[in-house]
Structure formats: C-alpha cells, structure tokens
C-alpha cells in the first residue's frame, strides 16, 4: 500500500499522506514523501504541490514507536524530508485538517504556504514526552507566530485550534470547508496573479525586541512549575536560538534533541505513553469479543463516589438512575451532582444548556424495581460486606438478564460478592478513584467467574467514559491500594526511626510526587487507613504495622477535614508543622525504645519506592496484573507517581533489579526494620538470576484468583 498517494489536479500535484490511523510519519512515509516530491519536480506540467493527509487529518506526527530504534536513524530523516520540501523549486501548500501535530506540524512549516480548516488542531506536543520539536519546529514556529505564542505552544504541548491562529503568519488561509479544495484554489489564484512563490520560513528573520525577557520569564516559570524537567528548559534555549541564522539555530536544536532523547525523563515519559496505550489490552479478550449493549446505567449510593461515577455516565450522554436509601440521602446526592456541574458553569467550563441537558439524564429513584432495565449497575455504598451483599441480593432480584453488576469496592472480595448472586459471570469490580469524575484511572476487577463479554464491555465502557482502564485480578486492595498500604507502612516506620512528616514529604516531593504521603493522608482523611488497619488487626493478628497513625487518629487528628492531622491547618488547606505531632512521635519512639537517627532523603525515597516495587513484583508474579507497565499506569494515573520516572516498575528496571534487590537486603538488616517486608519477591530473585527485567514478564490473562495462579516465569512482553 502506498504511504503517500499522488494525484494531479490540473497543474497541481496533490500528495496525500496515508498511514492510518493518524498518518504518522514513519520511515516508509518519509521515503514516499521524497519520492512523491521528486515525481512532482520531474513533471513539467506540475507547477505547484498540495500536501495533505488522508482521512481528514494531516498528521499526528513522527512515528514514536521508531524512537530509539534503528529505523529512526535511517535516511531520510524527517528533517531531511522537510529540508527537501522547503527547497522545492515548485511551491508547496500544506492543506491541514483534523490534527497537525509534532513532526506533522514541522513538515507543514517546511511548506511554503499553509491552509487550514478552522477546527483543525495544531501543536508541538514533544515536551510531553520529555523531548523538544527536533525537526525545525523550534526554529520555524517562532518566525511565523512570534516568540510568545511559540513558547506557549511548545511548552504546553497543547493542541491549538487553527482558528485561534488565523491572524498569524502561520496560515495563508483558515477556512470552514475542505482544506485541500481551499489549497487548490489558493494555488490557482496565486498562480494567476503570478505570485505563487517558494517562501521559505527558514529565510525569514526572527524579529523580537523582547526575546531575552520573554525567554527569561518562561525559564523562571518552568523551573518553578516543573523543577526536575529538563525538556522545557531546553525548548526555551532552542526558541532563543531561533534569533540566530537558521542553520545555527537548527544545529543547537539538533544537539539538544539528541541529548533529551537519552534522558531518563524522556525514557520515563515515553514508557508512560506506551504503557497507557497497552493498558486495557488483555490477551484472551480480543477486540473481536462481542460486547453487551450499554445505553442505560444505574448507580447505587449517591455519596462521594456514586455522585462522581454518575457524572461520568451523564458526561458521556448515558441516562443514569441514581438509587439511595431514603429521600434525604437521594436529595443530597442529586444536590452534590448539580453542585459540581454548577461550579463548572460558574468557571465557564460548561454551558448552562449542556449542564441542564446532563442533569435531565439523571433519574433519581428509591426503589430497585425502577432500575431493572439498566445495562450496567455500579454499587457505591458503604465499604461493608454486609451492606454490599444486601444490595447485590436486590440487584440479583431486579436486574434484567445480561446486565453487568459492578461494585466500586476498594478492598472487599469481588469473588465473594459475585458468589452471593445467581449470576457470578455478570459481576466485576469497577474501582474508580476519587474524585471519580476527574481522576483518569479505572481499575477493572476481573472476578474468577467474570464472563469475557462482560469484561470486554466494561473495557469499552472505560473508553466511553474517557478513563485509562487497567485490569486487575482479585486481591485485597487490587493493584493500587494493595501497594499503597506498603508505601504508607514504610513512611510510618521512617517516622519511628527518626524522620519527620515534613522531611518525608519533602523528599518524596523532590523525587517528583505532587504531595508526600503525610500531606496525602491529611487530604484524603487519616481515618481511611485507620479503618483498614482495624480490619487487618482482626483478620491477621500477627500483621506488623506502626501504631503511630492510630494514635494520631485517636487524638481526632483525621486531616484537613478536622483542621489537623500530621500538620496543622489553621487557615484551611495550607499545611503547617505541628508541635503536637512532633511530641506524639517523640513519645511513641520512647515507648518503642528507639533512639532517633538521622535519615537521609535517599533512604526515604528508596524505602518508599522499593516498598511499592516489592509488592508490585508479587502482584505481577501472582498474575493480578497483566503486565508490569499496567502497574506503572495505575501509579502514574491514580497515585501521582512522577510521570517522568515512568512508574515504580519502570523506575526499578531503570535502576537495575540487582541494585534494587541489594538495597532491599540492606533495608532488611535495619535493626528496626521488618526483614520479612524486605525479603525481595521471588520474581525479583528470578529476574536478577536470569539478567532480566520486569518489562520482560508477560502474564497469562488476569483471572481473578489471588495467589492461586503463578505468572509464567518469563516471556516476551505482549
């Protein structure tokens, strides 16, 4: 199949990049582009060229699967192709519709004219992968849109509607209709006027008297916002270099692009990009798996989670029943949902008419019989097995055959809930994160009896609700919360041994977390962990954990909601150090007979991150997660793990498992440590022995039984 279609329209050659689904500029496309350009050059009847993309989108950019592979280095490279288009003796007009991103926009910038549909979106998203636009984007864009706009676009990576840039020199025309037609008309008109010429952007001078000040300001802003990220700083350097002659600026851009390609930051972000795309793919649920209909939904419980989940459905245009125990609770639930929408209207993020339309889709009810025809029902009632089982008994009674029965439980046994019904194949977990209408992660919990078409339908629902969906088997806490428990446990041990909440939070924030564990505890409510520990104590009397956070809760210091937790909150949300907490910790240490020691930040970071890694390894080995990158996705999208570190498992692979294993053994020797906690998971031992990494582990399909089905020892990543 040709990657660039070539046709003639009178004296104009029309080249169409055709590489579904997004016309990415792969090596084949680059070669085909040059070939098409040569063909136009040799055709005496061709006076101009229109360059477009098939399927109403120009191009979403370079093929990033090639990054780091030999294909990326094989000639012709993108910058060579762009240089050839710019050097063409026959004028080239880019006809832009749909998306024109990254390398796609850089290619368009190498053309002599650009015509865009008003709703086409253009952008340079490379910074989001820890890179910079390395094929002339940082040099040509400022010459056309000015330094301030170029900096905004390059540093945000955002997609800007063409209509917003209509007044800049980026576009010759911004049109409502077909951009190819408009480009052909432009060629005809200019040709008749004798003014169809090869205007090369690289030959323009960048005139910006405030260049220095604009770049300094941008640098200050990015250093404050993302102090660890190198890519934004390098982008600014490049834009500044655009004031130099093009060849000089381009050489700087090239050098810095190559440098960024090797940074852990870019490798982590690129891993995260691919990990998100792989998440939700399950080997035994092929795309061809039949889906159940899903046009009507119901949510049981209109509290924090139920309200947010209902909003997800309403936003997707799906009529949704909301069921509560009594009228007052139902009214509270509806008011909460309306309140969230009203706040969005107030901020100008949602039109009033749209808000009203969505609220009309909400159907508040008190009786189960009203919801029987829903295609899916999600239970979000109190986290108590007896309450959940009573709800599922009702659902079993009223729901139509084939309806999916889902629970939003954070920790309870989905298999036990399924078994309580007469239709365990229809039961699964949909673990949303709070606030459910904002957080992107959806952990789908696959029970041991869950039917494949039920899971496939839930996966499709995840896409409809615009979630990043990861499949987890059944275990206490699933992927995310099971790991979090161990992370928090280590944070508490570190307090016992000598660190302060402030030091631990600061160390984790310097590592890249938006918030350290104690600020998170105060925000979410320290009673959540308290309740879990009470349950653990009852279930597993020998289970080891610090009682320090329980003592904090016993003082009523539940976090921001009580005005005090690990920190004081005299003015609402700003955490201030607490003398009372320092005294509590000192007292607790005395009780344990621990003389506090100075703990360095590296130990804090390694203990918290490797705690995640060790449990992550168990989760992978037990087949609870399908692949290690799914665990990364859970942590990146649900728990604020720094994106530029690629997730805990990728981070461990990048450090090297032998070093991680060594460090775990070192922690096991800590006199106040917990040697069983730090025993490296069997999977780590095996991978170290075979010289492999987490990324090489491919599991059989997640099936729901915790611990019963060991993962295949190793294999090729799916």
Q: Which of residues 414-433 bind ligand NAD (CB under 6 A)?
A: 432-433
Measured from the CB of residue 480, what is the shortest distance to ligand NAD in angstroms? 9
Q: What phi, psi does 129 have (nearest 5°)?
A: -105, 15
CA atoms of 511 and 375, how far apart (whole Å): 44
Q: Does 409 bind ligand NAD (CB under 6 A)?
A: yes
Closer CB to ligand NAD, 2 or 435, in the complex: 435
Measured from the CB of residue 297, what is the shortest distance to ligand NAD in angstroms? 15
Q: Does 434 bind ligand NAD (CB under 6 A)?
A: yes
Q: Mask: binding to ligand NAD, 329-358, rule CB under 6 A, as x and -? A: x-----------------------------
Strand partners, 41: none
Residue from 56, 191, 304, 696 in contact with ligand NAD (CB under 6 A):
304
Q: Does 301 bind ligand NAD (CB under 6 A)?
A: yes
Number of residues that bind ligand NAD (CB under 6 A): 24
- Yes or no: say if 146 and 208 are a contact pair by the CB < 8 Å rule: yes
Question: Among candidates 448, 403, 449, which has minimal Cα distance to 425?
Answer: 449
- Assign 23 to helix, strand or coil: coil
Closer CB to ligand NAD, 390 or 718, in the complex: 390
**What's the distance, CA 480 to chain centroid?**
15
Q: Where are the alpha helices (DSSP H) in 292-384?
A: 304-315, 327-346, 352-360
Residue from 55, 68, 188, 303 in contact with ligand NAD (CB under 6 A):
303
Closer CB to ligand NAD, 299 or 697, in the complex: 299
CA atoms of 40 and 42, how far apart (whole Å): 5
Closer CB to ligand NAD, 163 or 419, in the complex: 419
Going from the C-alpha of 45 to that of each of 14, 63, 96, 482, the distances in angstroms are 13, 33, 24, 68
Measured from the CB of residue 386, what is the shortest distance to ligand NAD in angstroms? 10
- Yes or no: say if 331 and 322 are a contact pair by the CB < 8 Å rule: no
Measured from the CB of residue 670, what is the shortest distance to ligand NAD in angstroms? 32
Measured from the CB of residue 413, what is the shortest distance to ligand NAD in angstroms? 12
Options 28, 45, 86, 106, the catalytic residue? 106
Residue from 69, 295, 325, 531 in contact with ligand NAD (CB under 6 A):
325
Closer CB to ligand NAD, 334 or 454, in the complex: 334
Q: Which residue has the tokens 């609220």?
A: 359
Closer CB to ligand NAD, 111 or 305, in the complex: 305
CA atoms of 545 and 547, how far apart (whole Å): 6
Length of the chain as a residue count: 718
Closer CB to ligand NAD, 189 or 325, in the complex: 325
Going from the C-alpha of 474 to that of each of 391, 416, 684, the distances in angstroms are 20, 10, 22
- Yes or no: say if 482 and 429 are a contact pair by the CB < 8 Å rule: no
| Residue whose C-beta lies closest to ligand NAD | 303
Measured from the CB of residue 314, what is the shortest distance to ligand NAD in angstroms? 17
The Cβ of residue 412 has, within 10 Å, a number of other Cβ atoms equal to 18
The Cβ of residue 51 has, within 10 Å, a number of other Cβ atoms equal to 29
Measured from the CB of residue 380, what is the shortest distance to ligand NAD in angstroms? 4
Measured from the CB of residue 430, what is the shortest distance to ligand NAD in angstroms? 10
Sheet order of strands, 160-161 included: 99-101, 121-123, 160-161
Measured from the CB of residue 560, what is the shortest distance to ligand NAD in angstroms? 14
Options 28, 66, 86, 126, the catalytic residue? 126
Q: What phi, psi does 340 have (nearest 5°)?
A: -65, -45
Q: Mask: binding to ligand NAD, 370-399, rule CB under 6 A, as x and -? A: ----------xxxx---x--xx--------
Closer CB to ligand NAD, 243 or 444, in the complex: 444
Q: Where are the beta strands (DSSP E) in 449-563?
A: 468-472
Q: Which of residues 95-134 bind ligand NAD (CB under 6 A)?
A: none
Closer CB to ligand NAD, 23 or 421, in the complex: 421
The token duo for 82 is 């762009």
Residues 6+ apart with CB under 8 A from 26: 3, 19, 63, 66, 71
- Yes or no: say if 290 and 332 are a contact pair by the CB < 8 Å rule: no
Measured from the CB of residue 310, what is the shortest distance to ligand NAD in angstroms? 11
Residues 6+ apart with CB under 8 A from 321: 296, 297, 298, 299, 363, 364, 365, 370, 371, 374
In the residue annotation, 496 being an active-site residue is answered as no
Q: Please, what is the Cα angle at 191 between 186 and 194, to 5 degrees?
A: 130
Interface with ligand NAD by CB under 6 A: which range of 73-81, 181-189, 402-410, 445-453? 402-410
Closer CB to ligand NAD, 387 or 655, in the complex: 387
- Yes or no: say if 282 and 460 are a contact pair by the CB < 8 Å rule: no
In the residue annotation, 126 being an active-site residue is answered as yes
Interface with ligand NAD by CB under 6 A: which range of 48-56, 302-310, 341-349, 560-568? 302-310
Query: Which residues bind to ligand NAD, rule: CB under 6 A?
Result: 300-306, 323-325, 329, 380-383, 387, 390-391, 408-410, 432-434
Catalytic residues: 106, 126
């Amino acid at each position: 199949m040709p990657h660039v279609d070539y046709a003639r329209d009178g004296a104009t050659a029309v080249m169409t990049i055709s590489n579904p689904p997004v016309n990415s500029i792969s090596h084949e496309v680059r070669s085909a582009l040059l070939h098409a350009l040569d063909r136009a050059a040799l055709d005496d009847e061709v006076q101009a060229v229109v360059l477009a993309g098939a399927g109403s989108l120009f191009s979403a950019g370079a093929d990033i699967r090639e990054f780091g592979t030999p294909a990326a280095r094989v000639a012709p490279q993108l910058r060579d192709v762009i240089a050839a288009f710019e050097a063409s003796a026959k004028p080239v007009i880019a006809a832009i519709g749909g998306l024109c991103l990254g390398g796609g926009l850089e290619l368009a910038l190498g053309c002599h004219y650009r015509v865009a549909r008003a709703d086409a979106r253009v952008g340079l998203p490379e910074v989001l992968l820890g890179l910079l636009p390395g094929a002339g984007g940082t040099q040509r864009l400022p010459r056309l849109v000015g330094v301030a706009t170029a900096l905004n676009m390059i540093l945000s990576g955002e997609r800007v509607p063409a209509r917003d840039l209509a007044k800049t020199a980026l576009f010759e025309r911004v049109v409502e209709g077909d951009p190819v037609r408009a480009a052909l008309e432009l060629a005809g008109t200019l040709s008749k006027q004798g003014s169809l010429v090869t205007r090369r952007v690289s030959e323009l001078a960048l005139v910006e008297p405030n260049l220095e000040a604009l770049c300094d300001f941008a640098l200050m802003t990015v250093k404050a916002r993302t102090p660890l990220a190198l890519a934004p700083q390098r982008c600014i350097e490049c834009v500044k270099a655009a004031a130099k002659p093009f060849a000089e600026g381009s050489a700087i851009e090239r050098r810095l692009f190559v440098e960024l390609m090797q940074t852990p930051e870019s490798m982590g972000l690129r891993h995260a990009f691919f990990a998100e795309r792989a998440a939700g793919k399950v080997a035994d649920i092929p795309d061809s798996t039949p889906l159940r209909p899903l046009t009507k939904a119901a949510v049981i419980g209109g509290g924090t989670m139920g309200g947010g989940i209902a909003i997800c459905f309403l936003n997707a245009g799906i009529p949704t029943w909301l069921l509560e125990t009594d009228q007052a609770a139902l009214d509270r639930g509806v008011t909460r949902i309306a309140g969230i929408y009203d706040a969005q209207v107030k901020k100008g993020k949602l039109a009033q008419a749209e808000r009203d339309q969505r609220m009309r889709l909400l159907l508040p009810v008190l009786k189960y019989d009203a919801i029987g025809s829903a295609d899916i029902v999600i239970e979000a009632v109190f986290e108590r097995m007896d309450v959940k089982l009573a709800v599922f008994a009702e659902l079993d009674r009223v729901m139509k055959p084939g309806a999916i029965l889902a629970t939003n439980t954070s920790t309870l046994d989905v298999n036990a809930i399924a078994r309580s019904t007469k239709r365990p194949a229809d039961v699964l977990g949909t673990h949303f994160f709070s606030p459910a209408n904002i957080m992107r992660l959806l952990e789908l919990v696959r029970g041991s009896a869950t039917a494949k078409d039920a899971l496939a339908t839930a996966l499709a629902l995840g896409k409809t609700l615009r979630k990043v969906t990861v499949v987890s088997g059944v275990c206490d806490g699933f992927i995310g919360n099971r790991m979090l428990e161990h992370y928090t446990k280590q944070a508490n041990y570190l307090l016992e041994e000598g660190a302060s909440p402030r030091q631990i939070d600061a160390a984790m924030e310097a590592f890249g977390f938006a918030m350290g564990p104690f600020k998170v505890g105060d925000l979410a409510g320290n009673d959540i962990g308290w309740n879990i520990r009470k349950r653990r104590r009852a279930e597993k009397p020998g289970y080891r954990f610090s009682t320090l956070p329980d003592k904090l809760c016993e003082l009523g210091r539940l976090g921001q909601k009580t005005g005090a937790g690990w920190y004081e909150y005299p003015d609402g949300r700003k955490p201030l150090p607490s003398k009372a907490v320092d005294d509590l910790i000192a007292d607790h240490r005395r009780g344990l007979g621990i003389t506090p020691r100075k703990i360095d930040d590296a130990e804090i970071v390694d203990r918290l991150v490797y705690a995640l890694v060790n449990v992550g390894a168990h989760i992978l080995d037990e087949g609870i997660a399908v692949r290690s990158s799914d665990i990364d996705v859970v942590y990146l999208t649900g728990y604020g793990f720094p994106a530029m570190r690629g997730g805990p498992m990728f981070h461990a692979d990048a450090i090297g498992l032998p070093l991680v294993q060594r460090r775990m053994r070192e922690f096991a020797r800590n006199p106040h440590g917990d040697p069983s906690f730090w025993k490296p998971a069997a999977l780590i031992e095996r991978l170290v022995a075979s010289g492999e990494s987490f990324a090489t582990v491919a599991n059989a399909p997640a099936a729901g039984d915790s611990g019963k089905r060991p993962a295949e020892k190793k294999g090729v990543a799916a």
